[in-house]
Chain A
Amino acid sequence: MSIIDLTSMAEPEGEAQKKINDIIKGLQEDIPHDCYQCGKCTSGCEAFILTELEPHKVMALSKSGFIDELLNSGEIWTCVTCLKCKERCPQDLAPVDVIFAVKNIAVSSGKQIDSGYSNMLQAVLGTGFIQSPKEVVDRENNAVTRDDMGLPKIKGPEEMPKLQQVLMKAATETLR
């Protein structure tokens, strides 16, 4: 995801901005237009030091329509969602939401994603929650469960197939 890639091979995708704006509408104004590349987002980015994620470049690439560059880079998946970029942007933009939108596009266009994320989705579709109650160990290494501690039974969604059906439909819509 560098300037060299841009000048050498990538083709801007005209529809890219529209796609991103569609997904995040309701969360902010049309994204990349107002970004003037001040770099404040990147200077405060919690992921930048460790993973080389540069939110201002994500904005620049979205603005120019180079969405393929973003979809094919692993960097969008290293955002820690600390929300500091959204908090501090002088133009009231939200690089974090653009990153979410690009990830959403990656998923819907069938790009391979980390199995952790797909497992989480399967769990929510199956049980309503990202995971089922675990047996944990205390400081003395005794295994304990919710029942052992007298915690009440979790009363999740009653009709899971119904919820699953609605979620599948909602996923194809833009609820923003």
Chain B
Amino acid sequence: MEKIGLYLGCLIPTEQYAYELAIREVLPELGTELVDIEGPACCGAPLRHINLSLTMYLSARNIALFEKEGLDILAPCPYCHQAISEAKDVLDKNPTLKEKVNSYLKEEGLEYKGKVKHYHLLDLLHDEIGTEVIKEHIKEPLEGLNIAAHYGCHLIRPNDIPRPDDSENPQKLETLLKTIGAESDYYNEKLDCCGAHILLNEQESALTKTGQKLEAVQNHGFDGMTTMCPWGQRMFDTKQDSAGQTVGASLNIPVIYYIQLLGLAMGKEPEALGLHLNKSPVDKLGSKEED
């Protein structure tokens, strides 16, 4: 993949800066040029609670903007990726609806054709760039680390629309971890939700979900947890302290974006990968590695 349009959505460019920094630092070196375009807005997924038509319009609009530039889309947020997948699935199967959505898009000078492809980091790294190419770039393999994989609900479900990995037994993230020298044990809570989507109105329940999963990861003896989702990272990393307080556990587990781990294994400077922005004790990963 030589060139791809970067669609960051809302959460990454407004607060999950580490994810964006690491993506911009790592992908070009693996041969994928990232292109920023003008005009994309929210993917619409957070507005599903209010009005499903808004979600459809916003996603169709974002796809149309990238189509205008002739660019495939990289959506590193599973929530955005799923909204795009769903919009494409529904619109491509229903010409009447496509016409209707296009009548609205026309007012903004846009048209949805459904011709461009879209990727998340998981399939971009695993299926397009490939583990062989990744291996060629590894300078400091993360040997001795056992990292828990957290995919993010919207990345793997629902399977009636195309998702980057299997919904009940996803393995690509584990394969990517092994590619950079780490281990990744199975754990029973692997598919558990982070709780992010009720943080707005049910804070305690949301943080309980976060805390329970982190506690399970810690008790399993993992050295850390890796994510591919800005919402999950926000809960497990940024809010780890409050999650620990909520479930009455002393949590002290490094949580790191996979793309940051990959950057470290490629010999990148931690600051260039935004590691100073992780709130969990990611320094522990380095010290464990040297043991």
Contacts and interface: CB of A to CB of B under 8 A. Distances in A.
B201 to A, nearest CB: 4
Given A136-B15, A175-B101, A155 B20 contact: no
B41 A173 contact: no
B286 interface: no
B128 interface: no
A57 interface: no
Contacts of A117: 49-50, 200-201
Interface in A13-57: 23-24, 26-27, 46-47, 50-51
Contacts of B145: none
Contact of B42 (A104, A129, A175): A129
A128 B159 contact: no
Contact of A136 (B52, B159, B277): B277
Contacts of B274: 149
A156 B39 contact: yes
Interface in A128-172: 128-134, 136, 138-140, 144, 146, 149, 151-152, 154-159, 162-163, 165-167, 169-171
B49 A100 contact: yes
A84 to B, nearest CB: 7
Nearest to B51: A171
B39 A157 contact: yes
B200 A116 contact: yes
Interface stretch (A3-11, A61-69, A73-81): A73-81
Contacts of A133: 13-15
Contact of B40 (A81, A120, A146, A156): A156
B289 interface: no
Contact of A175 (B20, B100, B153, B168): B100
B198 A171 contact: no
Contact of B37 (A100, A108, A155, A170): A155
A80 B209 contact: yes
Interface string B253-279: 000000000000000000000101111
Given A131-B10, A169-B104, A46 B209 contact: yes
Given A26-B94, A124-B47, A170 B42 contact: no
Contact of B38 (A84, A94, A155, A169): A155
A86 B56 contact: no
Contacts of A171: 51, 53-54
Contact of A114 (B93, B97, B201): B201
B178 interface: no
Interface in B15-60: 15, 17, 20-21, 24, 36-42, 46-54, 56-58
A83 B158 CA distance: 6
B224 interface: no
A146 B17 contact: yes
What 8 A-B pairs come out closest when comparing CB atoms? A128-B41, A116-B200, A83-B157, A114-B201, A175-B53, A82-B193, A175-B56, A170-B57
Given A159-B108, A173-B53, 20 more contacts: A26-B94, A51-B198, A51-B202, A51-B205, A77-B198, A77-B202, A82-B157, A84-B191, A87-B159, A87-B168, A103-B49, A121-B47, A124-B54, A128-B41, A129-B41, A131-B11, A149-B21, A157-B40, A163-B108, A173-B100
26 contacts: A24-B52, A26-B90, A27-B86, A51-B202, A77-B201, A77-B202, A79-B198, A83-B153, A83-B154, A100-B52, A116-B200, A128-B42, A129-B14, A132-B14, A134-B15, A136-B277, A139-B277, A144-B17, A155-B36, A155-B37, A162-B107, A166-B107, A169-B104, A170-B54, A171-B53, A173-B100
Interface of B: 10-11, 13-15, 17, 20-21, 24, 36-42, 46-54, 56-58, 61, 86, 90, 93-94, 97, 100-101, 104, 107-108, 153-154, 157-160, 167-168, 191-193, 195-198, 200-202, 205-206, 208-209, 274, 276-279
Interface of A: 23-24, 26-27, 46-47, 50-51, 77-84, 86-87, 92, 94, 100-101, 103-104, 107-108, 113-114, 116-118, 120-121, 124, 128-134, 136, 138-140, 144, 146, 149, 151-152, 154-159, 162-163, 165-167, 169-171, 173-176
